[in-house]
Amino acid sequence: MNTLDRETIADHFKSFQAQIYERIEGFEDNKSFIKDGWEKQNLGSGLSIVVDDGQVFNKAGINFSQIAGDSLPDSSLGILNESEKLPYFATGVSVVFHPNNPNIPTAHLNVRYFCTTKDGEIHNHWFGGGFDLTPYILFEEDCYDWHKSAKNACDQTDPDFYKTFKKNCDEYFYIPHRNEHRGVGGIFYEKLEIPLDQGIQFSKDVCAAFIETYTKILEKRKDLNFTQRDVDFQKFRRGRYVEFNLIHDRGTLFGLQTSGRIESILMSLPKDVNWRYKFDDNLEEKEKNLYEHITKPKDWLNE
């Protein structure tokens, strides 16, 4: 793969970042956004667009990166065989929104492209990504819309994608030491080996579905009232989000193993979070309702 090819692919992902930022910037004061371009020798470059302590978002990040290295780490795909430990190029967009209002869920998106090279030529390439939703106060209509949007995005490429990727998401965003899921899921896919043009289009469709549905939720929930108890519960549940990202998330591990930019890697963590002793021993009714949906995956489109 030559430099032009890499830049052409990376430019698609830059455009995804720009489109997501364009849809979200109106929810915050422009002064809240930090646009932080970076370049790291022997790794690559990127642009982080971050809100830290905003009016709507406690923490938010829309990150683009393009990197290259001599050998993929195991975290990229799980345990690699020797034939997969080759020079690589990777580019992608990673998004996390942590809202202030507990009525608005946390949302996460990632779309990425990888290729390995051998003797100067592409050896293999693939796509990965998906999005998931982490509510604090459950609104079932939001969960339905989220999964309906995910299915529509998948169906444009392959009608079989949603069922498989929904199951992948439920299994991946699971916190085994808590015996619960991070949220109500969405879609998740790894090493999707499809033609380049098709993969770029699918990535675009996934990004569009994500931001269209999340901005719809923002509009509906951003002005709803909440109590101090709701905030306390939100901060407690953010602790579970942090536990997953630091212990189980392969994207976080990949960034650390490739000596990535630490501020961008840990952008996914909320600004305010609590760990409380046995807080969930005495849940209120709406909190119990949330737990019913995060301890057992639900088929949102058929129940």
What's the angle, vertex CA 237, arms to CA 231 and CA 243, rounded to 5? Answer: 140
Q: Are 135 and 144 in contact (CB under 8 A)?
A: no
Angstrom distance (rounded) from CA 94 to CA 112: 8
Residue 253 · residue 36 · CB < 8 Å = no
Return the CA Rg of the chain: 19
With a CB cutoff of 8 Å and minimum separation 6, the contacts of 167 are none
Return the active site residues: 108
Cα dihedral sign, 286-289-294-295: positive
Q: Could you tell me whether strands 174-175 and 180-181 are parallel, antiparallel, or unpaired per DSSP bridges?
A: antiparallel
d(CA 70, CA 61): 28
- The burial of 119, by beta-carbon neighbours within 10 Å (0-12 exposed, 13-18 middle, 19 or more buried), is given as exposed
Going by C-beta distance under 8 Å and a sequence separation of 6 or more, which residues neighbour residue 253?
Answer: 73, 75
Collect all residues with Cβ–Cβ distance below 8 Å to 233 and sequence separation of at least 6. 102, 136, 279, 284, 287
Query: What per-residue string of b and e applies to 36-50 under the rule 16 or more CB within 10 Å gives b?
Result: beeeeeebbebbbbb
Whole-angstrom distance, CA of residue 192 vs CA of residue 85: 18
